[in-house]
Copies of this chain bind each other. A is one copy, B any other.
């Protein structure tokens, strides 16, 4: 324990860094990571981040095709046809090689997406065409040339950019890859987020009266990493000793892209983590103390290109600081973008207080009552474990320059669970 450490411990935080500034400080020194690419099958690529631009290798459609079920015809034959005076066409005969040519006065059955037979230039929908017997088709509507036909290359021209580097692959993208014949795609490997808990008093075990506390932070954060499509690495629990924490982090630097450490981040005599980060390598600790409630004692640093975040020991604080920093950092390192959380507008059932100068996360329960949406702050008793996050379904973020919101005010609530339906009678 250095003097420096004790200096810090006595004073609390002299300066709180706004969270946006803290994130900028980190991302400006962690360039978009040049990740190894993995070549995988599209069938296992859901939600992976594409590592290459993909173009259409062929025209799509690759041939003129019917856009409706019906009969391929020469449009000119149908002019003036209507329900009252249908025209009659002959079924086009198949040729010896299995192909069909539709000549004037002829029609040939086609299915949606199927190739247009040679000679035809339009499709009469099934609804307006029926077989009337021996090889004749009655058409009761006129079509113009190209009607109900998809032309070669209409959907995608050969060489057109279809999916870009950095895009997260959705179900429809994988369908498109199958269509274009990609049986392998290059995706960025998943970022590895290592999670270390610290504290002499915590353990992996049930609540007991022994005085030891079950570790909540690791299970929460390992799963939070999964929720943002990262690969979690469990570093276990370290006792509150400088060397033990240092060794664990040094080891983790070999495998992790981002390291999260919980507890030991404040300014007490056992709060070694920020100092360990600063000693591990350059540039070391960049921020200690963020203008955010809860989660104020959060520290952020970089060691040899790897971001290390020192999160508070309180589970709610640790989790909210995770939400504030980690998804944005992951997007930055992957060169990707994520969907925002859904937001609903709700009327406040009680006043919500912010902390001027800090970004305040207020956990709320959002309910729909008789068609209106209401938000009620979830009461936080003492230092609450996680129950405020388990009982709430959303949060309000009170920005740095806002004192709070009055009862009855309409506020935007970010949801992490769906709005509850409550009947007034229930």
Contacts and interface: CB of A to CB of B under 8 A. Distances in A.
A126 B297 CA distance: 13
Nearest to A160: B387
B220 A416 contact: no
Nearest to A68: B383
A151 B126 CA distance: 75
Contact of A126 (B9, B216, B223, B382): B9
A113 B383 CA distance: 8
A386 B386 CA distance: 43
Contacts of A200: 111
A10 B86 CA distance: 14
A151 B384 CA distance: 10
Contacts of A60: 207, 385, 387
| Residue among A12, A177, A178, A418 facing the most chain B CB atoms (10 A cut-off) | A178
Contacts of A390: 162-163, 172-173, 176
A382 B167 CA distance: 26
A284 interface: no
B180 A207 contact: yes
Stoichiometry (number of copies):
2
Contact of A63 (B61, B155, B211, B419): B211
A42 B387 contact: no
| Residue among A43, A57, A268, A417 facing the most chain B CB atoms (10 A cut-off) | A268
A278 interface: no
| Residue among A175, A177, A179, A199 facing the most chain B CB atoms (10 A cut-off) | A175
B342 A199 contact: no
A232 to B, nearest CB: 10
A10 B175 contact: no
A15 interface: no
Nearest to A415: B339
A109 B344 CA distance: 45
Given A46-B226, A113-B313, A113-B314, 6 more contacts: A112-B314, A113-B199, A170-B416, A171-B226, A175-B219, A176-B390
15 contacts: A43-B219, A60-B385, A62-B209, A69-B266, A69-B270, A113-B313, A115-B211, A126-B267, A154-B382, A172-B315, A174-B219, A176-B385, A179-B386, A339-B342, A340-B342
